[in-house]
Amino acid sequence: MKRLKSWHAAALLGLTISAVAFWGFEKGESRDFQIAKNLDIFNSIIKELDMFYVDTLNPDKTIRDGIDNMLYSLDPYTVYYPEDDREELEQMLRNKYGGIGSIITWNEQLKRSVISEPYEGMPAAEVGLKVGDILMELDGVDLLGKDNQQVSEMLRGDAGTSFTLKVQRPGEKNLLTFNIVRKYIELPLIPYYAKLDEGIGYINLTTFSGNPSKEFKRVFQELKAQGINGLIIDLRGNGGGLLDEAIEIANFFVPKGQTLVTTRGKTRQASETYKTLRDPLDLDIPIAVLVNSGTASSSEILAGSLQDLDRAVIIGTRTYGKGLVQTTRPLPYGGTIKLTTSKYYIPSGRCVQAIDYSHRNTDGSVGRIPDSLTTVFHTAAGREVRDGGGVNPDIVVEQKQTPNIIYYLSRDNLIFDYATDFCIKHKKVAPAQDFVLSDKDYEEFKEKVKAANFKYDQQSEKLLKDLKAMAEFEGYKQDAEAEFEALEKKLQHNLDRDLDFFAEDIKPLISVEIMKRFYYQRGGIIEQLKDDPDLAKAKEVLSDATKYKSILTPQS
């Protein structure tokens, strides 16, 4: 008999046998019997492997790998957390953890982690860590070769505990030493809000974990006191969080007693109806909600509910499409399972779930539900909306395609490193609202890129190469040789030309990196909003009452 080659394969085989038998049980056999039978088979396989397999079995790793793969075959949101990982689950639910409060990034050339974004007011920023600082030692342990996950785990710990961190700062000869006391890090819920020049309020909401509704209420009331005449809620990149928080924020703008979400699952506990419980803050202010493919889960509940109730104009690109609800259940030995227990349905009756995890391709992949299989629903006013594909905006804003060169500049950390050099040379810069990267600064960036011997793949060159190969295969190459040679000359790699041609795409990315170093996350957002087509469209709609009303009115 052919031996299994690894513990991982053994565990997967055992769980696959269990899963296949579990879902494909024979006629006449009860479900309870099938469950008991397959659990017995699984236990027997583990015992046989432990006793007879050629190598010593690591039961924790083998069985954990099997569990993780079995759960992932259901959907990516059903996850097992053993006792050792409970802190990770609690951090996700509470949106806070014990640590230094900084994003770190991996530098492939250095084989070390680097500070990439310290949060304002958190320990990393308070002790003076800066973007670009290279992490060298933590309590005497060399961090060379340790990946971001390993370093992140070392940086985290109970609030109040301390450690010593040594870093190499670009431009400094000697290592810098910092004594850091960890504290509970609550990620920014609303990193930026403002009354814009047009008298329109803007609120950037990053998550529904923690208690963002309380902060949102405070910010909105502050903006109202400043006399705003419209509101933009930016949910782009907001991956969701707590269902109750999304309902609470929607309640600020819709009447008390309005049904916002209905969940339907296998058990009675998983099927609930959620209504607004309080009097609203404002039923009349015009609202625009910005969304994109990173808008998911609770963010889609807020955006979709306001759309279904004709309470806001949705602007941007189609949202992610996560219409599944997860709850946690305790397991033996301190473990927890976060599992999908129901689907949610917003006021029109539609579910935004865009991926059918119950039907997989032969390679195990899953795809989005085709538009042809979606169903038409109607908003409160009678406008058509569809299920099965996220929230489709009322106004779709075409997004500019990112040039290929930007991917390679980012991959090689050239934009990141230039911003670090810029901050070494400039101790102060203009406020984020007024900052402009000069032509001289961009010329310095170009020189840095050329000095780095920067190379990147041009898609046009690749396509031309493929076209020549196909023309040769089909017998056309000889007749078109002169045309191919002329085209090759025009498509020759010219870095100077490319950096100039794509300057208007590259400059904003450099400016964002610089602003994050001087003004943290808030500065980066301000810079991004300067040339934001979604924001421009939202301001245009909110400034035109007739247009706003027509969008929310069914078309004949």
pLDDT in tens, 215-231: 999 999 999 999 999 99
- In this prediction the pTM is 0.85
Q: What is the pLDDT of residue 372?
A: 82
Among the listed ranges 20-29, 126-135, 277-286, which one has the minimum average pLDDT value? 20-29
Check if the beta carbon of residue 520 is closer than 8 Å to that of residue 120.
yes
User: How confident is residue 493, by pLDDT bands cut at 50, 70 and 90?
Assistant: low
Cβ atoms within 10 Å of 430's Cβ, excluding its own: 10
Check if the beta carbon of residue 241 is closer than 8 Å to that of residue 302.
no
Cβ atoms within 10 Å of 370's Cβ, excluding its own: 9
User: How confident is residue 11, by pLDDT bands cut at 50, 70 and 90?
Assistant: very low
Q: What is the pLDDT of residue 470?
A: 80
Check if the beta carbon of residue 327 is closer than 8 Å to that of residue 270.
yes
Query: According to the 3-state scheme, what is the secondary structure of 395-409?
Result: EECCCCCCCHHHHHH
Q: What is the pLDDT of residue 14?
A: 44
Query: Ranked by mean pLDDT, which of 95-104, 356-365, 514-523 comes out on top?
Result: 514-523
Buried b vs exposed e over 47-82: b needs ≥16 C-beta within 10 Å? Answer: eebeeeeeeebeeeebbebbbeebbeeebebbbbbe
What's the average model confidence in pLDDT over 335-343? 93
What's the average model confidence in pLDDT over 333-344? 93
User: How confident is residue 348, by pLDDT bands cut at 50, 70 and 90?
Assistant: very high
What is the strand order of the sheet 192-195 is part of? 192-195, 200-204, 230-234, 287-291, 313-316, 395-396
Interatomic CA distance for residues 530 and 508, integer angstroms: 9
- The CATH number of 96-186 is 2.30.42.10
Q: What is the pLDDT of residue 484?
A: 67
User: How confident is residue 95, by pLDDT bands cut at 50, 70 and 90?
Assistant: low
Helix axis angle for 459-474 and 481-490, nearest 10°, is 170
Q: What is the pLDDT of residue 10?
A: 42
Q: Is the pLDDT of residue 435 over 80?
A: yes
Q: Is the pLDDT of residue 535 over 90?
A: yes
Interatomic CA distance for residues 241 and 235, integer angstroms: 12
User: How confident is residue 15, by pLDDT bands cut at 50, 70 and 90?
Assistant: very low
Tokens of 302: 């807020």
DSSP percent split of the chain into helix, strand, coil, nearest 5 = 40, 20, 40
Query: Cα 35 from chain centroid?
Result: 37
The percent of residues in the chain predicted with pLDDT above 90, rounded, is: 69
CA–CA–CA angle 12, 18, 22 (5° rounding): 140
Q: Is the pLDDT of residue 193 over 50?
A: yes
> Per-residue pLDDT tens for 45-56?
999 999 999 999
- Which of residues 551 and 32 earns the better pLDDT score? 551
- Whether 166 is catalytic is no
Quick one: 250 exposed, middle or buried, by C-beta within 10 A (0-12, 13-18, 19+)?
buried
Q: What is the pLDDT of residue 421?
A: 93
Interatomic CA distance for residues 203 and 114, integer angstroms: 30
- Any idea of the CA torsion for 163, 167, 169, 170, to the nearest 10 degrees? -150
Q: What is the pLDDT of residue 400?
A: 86
Per domain, the residue ranges of the chain are: 7-73, 96-186, 192-325+343-396, 404-457+494-538, 459-490
> Per-residue pLDDT tens for 54-67?
999 898 898 999 99
3-class DSSP state of 447: helix
Cβ neighbours for 333, distance < 8 A, ≥ 6 positions apart: 82, 83
Check if the beta carbon of residue 388 is closer than 8 Å to that of residue 373.
yes
> Per-residue pLDDT tens for 362-389?
777 788 888 888 899 999 999 999 999 9
Tokens of 308: 């279904």
Which residue among 146, 322, 446, 537 is the active-site one? Answer: 322
What's the average model confidence in pLDDT over 288-304? 97
Which residue among 102, 116, 297, 299 is the active-site one? Answer: 297
**DSSP string of 36-60?**
HHHHHHHHHHHHHHHHH-SS---HH
- Whether 500 is catalytic is no
Check if the beta carbon of residue 540 is closer than 8 Å to that of residue 397.
no
3-class DSSP state of 268: coil
Q: Amino acid letter at 259?
A: T
> Which CATH superfamily hosts domain 192-325+343-396?
2-enoyl-CoA Hydratase; Chain A, domain 1 (3.90.226.10)
What's the average model confidence in pLDDT over 399-415? 90
Query: According to the 3-state scheme, what is the secondary structure of 177-231?
Result: EEEEECEEEECCCCCEEEECCCCEEEEECCCECCCHHHHHHHHHHHHHHCCCCEE
Query: Cα 532 from chain centroid?
Result: 19
What's the average model confidence in pLDDT over 141-159? 93
Q: What is the pLDDT of residue 370?
A: 84
H-run or E-run covering 535: helix 533-542
Strands 230-234 and 200-204: parallel
- Whether 460 is catalytic is no
Which residue among 75, 234, 308, 417 is the active-site one? Answer: 308
Task: Please give the mean pLDDT across all residues of the chain.
Answer: 89
Tokens of 19: 């899963």
**DSSP string of 343-381?**
EEE-TTS-----B-TTS--TTS---BPPGGG--EEE-TT
Check if the beta carbon of residue 60 is closer than 8 Å to that of residue 46.
no
Q: What is the pLDDT of residue 371?
A: 81
Q: Is the pLDDT of residue 13 over 50?
A: no
What's the average model confidence in pLDDT over 255-265? 96
Cβ neighbours for 482, distance < 8 A, ≥ 6 positions apart: none
Tokens of 385: 């909306």
DSSP state of 256: T
Check if the beta carbon of residue 329 is closer than 8 Å to that of residue 267.
no
3-class DSSP state of 147: coil
Distances from the Cα of 160 to the Cαs of 100, 183, 390, 410, 508, in angstroms? 11, 6, 42, 36, 39
